[in-house]
Amino acid sequence: METKTIFADFEDEREAVLGAVAALEAGDVVALPTETVYGLGADALNEEAVAKIFAAKERPKFDPLICHVGDKRDIEKYAEIPEALKETVAQLVEAFWPGPLTLVLPKKDIIPDIVTSGMPTVALRMSANPIMRKVAKHLGRPIAAPSANRFGRISPTSANAVREELDGRIPLIIDGGACMQGIESTIISIEEGETRPSIRILRAGPVTKEELQKYGKVEKPKYKDKAEKLEAPGQLESHYAPNAKVILLESPSQFKAEAGKTYALLSYRGSAKDGYLELHDWDEIAELSPGTGKLAEAALRLFYLMRELDRSGVDYIVAEPVTEKGVGVAIMDRLRRAAAKRPAAH
Ligand code: TXA
Ligand code: MG
């Protein structure tokens, strides 16, 4: 299959929007920009189209998809919001939509089981990317869209990265430039609590725990056993994996080079003071936050730089830890998963 690209013209997005809508209406999959990472979209109400997402990504059917809506009010069409949570959900939508917050809520019957992997809940979000939003609005139906990478690999933050992942497997990429956030949305579930609603962060992302605390008591997801853990998002311990092996250090003294191997350093601030730069004669060095040292910049560049370093062909990518607060929690989560041991190839 030939993979076409439509470049979005920022002064007139019509061609890109209408091209995407036509493909989705025809039951095809389309890679679309969002503010977090590129998504591989399909009409969420068309089961055959959704099946094509799983095929192109080689994604196991037990991993449910996020649905993107084009209007805040659509949440009522696809989710059955419990009476006691209506006010909190409305506040969260008002505060964070359009934006990188995904809400897991009881689903309405209209959402097919293939989208939710048979679960009674649906994950909904409204992207801040104008192209994605307009496509969803024009289509008038939710767009199921996981990140546009092959399963288990690094999420794409540019149209080129999508092509690297899915060239020849999908008919169309909408190139809307680089993603603004660079890291996937925060996913939460909400339950009634004793005094305040209880908000569980199922996947850390750009919307931080600190920001969510205003709307309820933020708690860690709790799992009774391992089987239940598999039902939660981003659930696989090993994820975001480049070809190179990733080593996440806690301190410089942990590093030991193996003879004959090549090493790249993924530095947080590129500062010698942190003690990693001069630890080794690195084959490659990339800085997550060369500007102001802010975490948002590090999030924005994380997947892009992991791809770059991987392309250099090194055996190992050694990552410095970043400050684990705000969006730093999400960055460390992704680095830990990238560094987690992969199951043996089969
Ligand atoms: O920023 C994002 O969220 C991007 C862009 C494209 O929107 N999408 C994304 O999708 O990261 P994906 O499929 O790579 O990750 C979605 C996660 C998965 O780990 C999945 O298990 C979880 O969301 N998820 C989806 N529906 C769920 C549900 N009903 N309950 C719990 N987790 C759910
Ligand atoms: Mg993903």
pLDDT by residue (tens digit) across 106-156?
999 999 999 999 999 999 999 999 999 999 999 999 999 999 999 999 999
> What is the mean pLDDT of the segment spanning 75-84?
97
> What is the mean pLDDT of the segment spanning 250-275?
95
Cβ 279 under 6 angstroms from ligand 1: no
Provide the pLDDT for residue 337.
92
Q: Whose CA is nearest to atom 12 of ligand 1?
A: 146
Provide the pLDDT for residue 10.
85
Provide the pLDDT for residue 220.
75
> What is the mean pLDDT of the segment spanning 174-181?
97
Q: What are phi and psi of 272, to 5 degrees?
A: -60, -30
Cβ 88 under 6 angstroms from ligand 1: no
pLDDT beyond 70 at 92: yes
Q: How many C-beta atoms surround the C-beta of residue 316 within 10 A?
A: 19
Residue 154 CA to ligand 1 centre (angstroms) = 14
Q: What are phi and psi of 89, to 5 degrees?
A: -60, -40
Residue 155 CA to ligand 2 centre (angstroms) = 6
Q: Whose CA is nearest to atom 15 of ligand 1?
A: 146
Note whether 289 and 268 are within 8 A (CB). Answer: yes
Provide the pLDDT for residue 346.
39
Cβ 186 under 6 angstroms from ligand 1: no
pLDDT beyond 90 at 332: yes
Provide the pLDDT for residue 334.
95
Provide the pLDDT for residue 164.
97
> What is the mean pLDDT of the segment spanning 234-243?
72
pLDDT beyond 60 at 165: yes
Cβ 149 under 6 angstroms from ligand 1: no
Provide the pLDDT for residue 278.
95
Provide the pLDDT for residue 223.
55
Ligand nearest to the CA of 234: 1
User: Where does residue 298 rank: exposed (0-12), middle (13-18), buried (19+ CB within 10 A)?
Assistant: buried
The rounded mean pLDDT for the chain is 93
pLDDT beyond 90 at 231: no
Establish whether the linkage from the previous residue to 206 is cis, with ω within 30° of 0.
Answer: no
Distance, CA of 38 to CA of 17 (rounded, Å):
15
pLDDT beyond 90 at 237: no
Long-range CB contacts for residues 234-238, cutoff 8 Å, separation at least 24: 234/184, 234/187, 234/202, 234/203, 234/333, 234/337, 235/63, 236/152, 236/337, 237/337, 237/340, 238/152, 238/337, 238/340, 238/341, 238/342, 238/343
Cβ 146 under 6 angstroms from ligand 1: yes
Residues pairing with 247 in the sheet: 318
Q: What percent of the chain has pLDDT over 90?
A: 86
pLDDT by residue (tens digit) across 198-230?
999 999 999 999 999 999 999 876 655 554 554
Chain center to CA of 101:
11
Provide the pLDDT for residue 226.
52
> What is the mean pLDDT of the segment spanning 7-31?
96
At 116, the amino acid letter reads: T
Cβ 189 under 6 angstroms from ligand 1: no
pLDDT by residue (tens digit) across 81-91?
999 999 999 99
Q: Whose CA is nearest to atom 17 of ligand 1?
A: 233
Note whether 27 and 43 are within 8 A (CB). Answer: yes
SS3 annotation, the chain: CCCEEEECECCECHHHHHHHHHHHHCCCCEEECCCCCCEEEEECCCHHHHHHHHHHHCCCCCCCCEEECCCHHHHHHHECCCHHHHHHHHHHHHHHCCCCEEEEEEECCCCCHHHHCCCCEEEEECCCCHHHHHHHHHHCCCEECCECCCCCCCCCCCHHHHHHHHCCCCCEEEECCCCCCCCCCEEEEEECCCCCCEEEEEECCCCCHHHHHHHCEEECCCCCCHHHHCCCCCCCCCCCCCCCEEEECCCHHHCCCCCCCCEEEEECCCCHHHCCCCCCCCCEEEECCCCCCCHHHHHHHHHHHHHHHHHCCCCEEEECCCCCCCCHHHHHHHHHHHHCCCCCCC
Residue 118 CA to ligand 1 centre (angstroms) = 14
Q: What is the pTM of this model?
A: 0.95
Stronger pLDDT, 253 or 342, i.e. the higher one: 253
